[in-house]
Each structure stands twice: as C-alpha cells, then as structure tokens.
Amino acid sequence: MVREIVTCTSLDLGKPLYLQNELGPFLGRGILTTNGAVWAHQNKTIAPDDQLYVAKVKGMINLITESTMIILKTFKSRIEGEGGIADIQIVDDMRSFSGDVISKACFGSNYSKGEEIFLKLRALQEIIYLPTMSNRSSLKLQKEIRNLNLEVVNERKQKATHEKDLLQMIIEGAESSNFNQEEINQFVVDNCKNIYVAAFEAIAISSTWCLMLLASNQEWQDCVRAEVLEICGDRTPDYEMLKKMKLI
C-alpha cells in the first residue's frame, strides 16, 4: 500500500468523498474538499509559488497589528473598568481577532462585508450538524453567504481595483479558467468559505494557546515582555522589529 501511494501520480488521491457529502453546505467544492484537476487549479490560484515570499508577509503585518491594537484596547478598557484587575475570557476575543485579520487579508477594502460573511459562516457551522429542522435555516444562510460574496465581487469589478488580496487572486483564477459564469461564481464563493474556515481556526487556536502558555509561565512572560520593550520601546511593532525577536 505504501509503495502504491508513493508511486501514485493521480491527482484524485486525496480527500474522502464524505467531506463533500457532509460538509458540502459549509465548504462547497473548495480547495479543502476537492481532488483532481479541480483541486490542482484551486491550489495554483490560491497558493502560487510567490505567495509566501517576504514581500507578501510584510504586506500583512500592518493589518495584523491594526487588529491586535483593537483587541488590546478592549482588554485595557475592561481592566480599567474593573479597577485594575479583570478576569478575561479570551476565547470570543480571539475569534473576533481572527475574523478581523482574515477579513482584511482576504477582502482588503471590502473587509466590512467580509466580516459579515464570516459571522454567517460561523452561524452555519453551528447549525450544520443539528437535526433536519435546521435545514431551512441552513439553506437561508448558504444563500445569504453566496449573495454577499457575489456582491463584493461585483463591487470589485465595477471599481476596477488593483488590490492583490486573496479575493482578487481567487477572482482572477476563476476567470482564467474555462468555467462558465455560474461555475466562476461557485468557485469564488466556495474558496472564500474554505479560506475563512481554515485560516480562522489556525489564527484563533494558535493565538489562544500562545496567550494561555504565557499566562501560565510567568518566567517566559517576563522574558517576552523584556524582549518586546527592548526592541520596540513605545513604538508599534513592524516587520523589521519582529525579525529581531528571538523568543516570539
């Protein structure tokens, strides 16, 4: 079996069909559920060779910093409101932070609608495994998510924008294919949903665990704080500062 897998060159070797059957309403036929030529085209569109180049990462630091400052101000306000000491449950805050970062990275200047799409996806995720009585709500949310995505796409086309965010890459990838208009629309909608789901979990979980580990290890917390103060001082961190940080 191992030899067959190693020597297999078929693009159909990959995700099981139950992903499409069970998670179809949630993920559609995006990069997380497809195989074969469809997956190959999606992968080439969403993750081209230069996607992880330094310039790409640099371009995302400012939006991540912006989202981080928002959540820090929220924490500060709560602490001050409770007399200097507060018990903060960070799970919902990290989800909000994650959604904000993804919306800006994926939708650029259209990120407010991206956040709306994200909230509806979260609602769809919560009801997708409920009994049949939830099917009507599920279909309604799927339609709303699709319409919102297509609204953003149409706005982007009308403005003739040159933004190079993930949404633009997906649009260009869909239009460079041999798809008809309906298939182009579905390609864009499904892959936007896939990016949201994958990136949301990665950012939210890693951020939550990072804060939890720092909170439970005072020595490391002190070391990280000292490093940040030494490198950044009272300035907002940027890419060059982050490169100098060894602990983070």
| The pLDDT of residue 238 | 85
Q: What is the dihedral of CA 28, 34, 38, 41, to 10 degrees?
A: 100
> Does pLDDT of 200 surpass 50?
yes
Backbone angles phi and psi of 84, in degrees to 5:
105, -15
pLDDT tens per residue across span 38-77: 777 777 777 654 544 556 667 778 888 888 888 888 888 9
In whole angstroms, give the CA distance from residue 138 to residue 144.
10
Confidence label for 185 from pLDDT (cuts 50, 70 and 90): confident
Contact 166, 105 (CB under 8 A): yes
More confident residue, 248 or 104: 104
> pTM for the complete prediction?
0.69
Of the candidates 243, 237, 246, 245, the one whose C-alpha atom is nearest the C-alpha of residue 64 is 237
- Give percent of the chain above pLDDT 90: 4
Give me the long-range contacts of 166-175 (CB less than 8 A, separation at least 24). 166/46, 166/105, 166/106, 166/107, 166/195, 167/106, 167/107, 167/108, 167/110, 167/192, 168/108, 169/45, 169/46, 169/48, 170/45, 170/46, 172/45, 173/41, 173/42, 173/44, 173/45, 173/46, 174/45
Please say if the pLDDT value at position 227 is more than 90: yes
Report residue 54 as tokens.
Answer: 């330094």
CATH superfamily entry for domain 2-216: Cytochrome P450 (1.10.630.10)
| Contact (CB, 8 A) for 40 and 11 | yes
Q: What is the pLDDT of residue 134?
A: 57
Average pLDDT over residues 222-234: 91
- Domain boundaries defined on the chain: 2-216
Task: Identify the pLDDT of residue 51.
Answer: 47
Separation CA 171–CA 152 (nearest Å): 11
